[in-house]
Structure 1
Amino acid sequence: MPELVRPDVRLHSAWLDAHAEWGPGAHEDGFGLRPTDDVDSPAGFAAWVARLSAPSTTTHSCTYRWIVQDGRVLGGIALRQGDDEYVRWAGHIGYGIRPSARRRGHATWALARTLDEARSLGLTRLLAVCAPDNPGSVRTLEHCGGIFERVDDTGSGPVRRYWFDL
């Protein structure tokens, strides 16, 4: 059974395996990875994990969790609080599952638990977005109760917008 865990430097090697599966770049949703983050070196990885765990210095706070099973990083999920421009663009929830772990229910499982966490924090309405050509995320969001609002052109491509009323 997978677990949702806080980012941890002890998972450096396992995280690098997942990252390699996605290929180069900072595109893994749910991990808070920036193009300037050095995740290859132990010191850089530790600095990145510390940033993910630190109190937010932006207008929204974010809780990151990694989806881990048997020491293997399967994906990540982020819960953003607030209503700044980034949240309106990316949503309150973002997640990604490594390619070899997809189509096994991990995203649905992690999203359901993250929605429970949002409820416990007193959040009442959350936005999630996904690419229109991502049927796996469409199914995940709808299975967990997301209500489709519309397709928006964000400037970096169209997204499907879903709302969760908690």
Structure 2
Amino acid sequence: MPELVRPTTGVHDSFLAAMKEFLDEGRGGPDDESQIGRDLRDPGIEALADPDAFAAYVARVNAEPLPDSPRPAGFVPSTTFWLVDGKEYLGRIQLRHRLTEFLREAGGHIGYDVRRSARRRGHASLMLREMLPYARGLGIDPALVTCDEDNVGSRKVIEACGGVLEDVRHGKRRYWVPTG
């Protein structure tokens, strides 16, 4: 049964397979500013194949909620959960603890990705529903969740979780989702 867990080395092989699926669908290019895109470029799927490098990556992701953790300029503390079923990595969801001007325009508080082979099974809805109370616990209500204007699946997930469309900016639909 799928469950949200903090990132773990226990799904190493499946995580690599998922990253390959994202790469095969064109993710990770220089214009891909998503967390998946950044991870595919740096450290990169080849580097993450090394168990020690993967363990260091998992430790870094798990440290991101801490206010003093190193992060790139403009990035805010964030909490990431992975959706797993046993040792099978299905996807990830990330909660950004506050909004920057960029996140207010395009990224929002919450971003999620489901690997291609696990899509259309309700995993994104499960992740978003389970992340909303966590956001509320951090004082976020409502949460801003965005998706590409042409991403019908993500739009349906956000709307099913109570998202109210505020507007569309630069090709991004911007929804406010109640967390309580």
Task: Give the TM-score of the pair, scaled to structure 1.
Answer: 0.87
1:135 aligns with 2:152: yes
| Separation in structure 1 between the aligned mates of residue 55 and residue 35 of structure 2, nearest angstrom | 18
1:31-42 matches, cutoff 5 A: 33=39, 35-37=41-43, 38-42=47-51
Counterpart of 2:168?
Answer: 151
Q: How far apart, CA to CA, are the structure 1 residues paired with 2:87 and 2:34? A: 20
Q: Can you give the 5+ residue segments of structure 2 that lack an aligned partner in the other structure? A: none
Q: Distance in 1 between matches of 2:42 and 2:100?
A: 22
Query: What is the match of residue 94 of structure 1?
Result: 111
CA RMSD of aligned residues (A): 2.1
Query: In structure 2, what is the Cα distance between the partners aligned to 1:93 and 1:126?
Result: 7
Q: Do 1:66 and 1:75's aligned partners in 2 also have CA atoms closer than 8 Å?
A: yes
**What's the counterpart of residue 86 of structure 2?**
70
1:45-102 Cα offsets, whole Å, 9 max, x none, are 1221111111244562111000001311110000111122342231110001111111
- Segments of 5+ residues of structure 1 without an aligned counterpart are none
Aligned length, in residue pairs:
162
Q: Does 1:43 align with 2:49?
A: no
Runs of 4+ in 1 over 4 A off after TM superposition: 27-32
Which structure shows the bigger proportion of residues in strand conformation? 1
Instruction: Provide the TM-score with structure 2 as the length reference.
Output: 0.81
Change beyond 3 A, Cα 1:5–1:116: same
1:28 Cα deviation after fit: 9.6
Question: Which SS does the other structure have where 1:103 is aligned?
Answer: coil
2-structure distance, mates of 1:22, 1:149: 29
**What does 1:50-129 align with in structure 2 at a 5 Å threshold?**
50-54=59-63, 55=66, 56-58=69-71, 60-88=76-104, 89-129=106-146
Q: Percent identity over the alignment? A: 41
| Offset from partner CA, 1:91-139 (integer Å, 9 cap, x none) | 1100011111111111001100000111223222211111111110000
Q: Distance in 2 between matches of 1:138 and 1:22?
A: 20
